[in-house]
Amino acid sequence: MALRELSSLEKYLGLKKPNKYSTQGDKKVPVLQNNTGPPLVGLVTVACHLVKEAKRPELLGDSAESRAVVQQWLEYRVTKLNNCTKDDIKTILKDLNMYLQDKVYLAENQFTLADILMYYGIQPLIVDLAIQEKEQYVNVTRWFDHIQHYPGIRRHLSPVVVLRNRIYTSRHH
């Protein structure tokens, strides 16, 4: 799973030469085999490395604050979104929904690596949501739909229909 994310990320970044990966341990933590140095271990670590390799530092944030925010959500992604229980999912969606209330992207108005990896990580949860639930977490679904349609991001994942087309609600008539 993590390896597919990384390969999608590579494609998005336009990295010409695909890197060599392996995994480690039961959790299949991705490992990047590096020609120049020791191997890099961990999804966040490898992803940040790829971004730097592609000379796209703005994807890690363009200020110390946004860089911290990006790192924070990347950590959130690998600690909270992997192997979460049903209750966890509810909390995650609720919190994220609150957080995204006044934001376009996770790091305010700037598209970053945090959006990409959070999207890859949360997609399986969103797939399982009923329409009503998607409507309950409207900010998450808005953000999610935005990211899945961001050029070059979706790659290995199938699109999720997130919102019903409601032109008029019945209440108004």
Contact residues toward another protein (CB under 8 A) are 24-27, 29, 38, 40-45, 48-49, 52, 57-58, 62-65, 67-69, 71-72, 75-76, 78-79, 82, 85-86, 91, 94-95, 98-99, 101, 108, 128-130
Least distance CB 23 / another protein (angstroms): 9
Smallest separation, CB 77 to another protein (Å): 10
Q: How far is the CB of 111 from another protein (least distance, A)?
A: 13
Of the two residues 33 and 82, which places its CB atom closer to another protein in the complex?
A: 82
Name which of 128 and 149 has its Cβ closer to another protein. Answer: 128
DSSP string, the chain: -HHHHHHHHHHHHT-SSPPEEEEETTTTEEEEE-SSSSPEESHHHHHHHHHHHTT-GGGG-SSHHHHHHHHHHHHHIIIIITT--HHHHHHHHHHHHHHGGG-SBTBBTB--HHHHHHHHHHHHHHHT--HHHHHHTHHHHHHHHHHHTSTTT-TTSPP-------SS-GGG-
- Least distance (Å) from another protein to the CB of residue 171? 20
User: For 20, phi and psi rounded to 5 degrees?
Assistant: -95, 130
Query: Residues 33, 19: contact at Cβ < 8 Å?
Result: yes
Which one, 129 or 162, has the nearer CB to another protein?
A: 129
CB of 44 to another protein, least distance (A): 5
Q: Which is nearer to another protein, 85 or 170 (CB)?
A: 85
Nearer to another protein, 117 or 154 (CB): 117
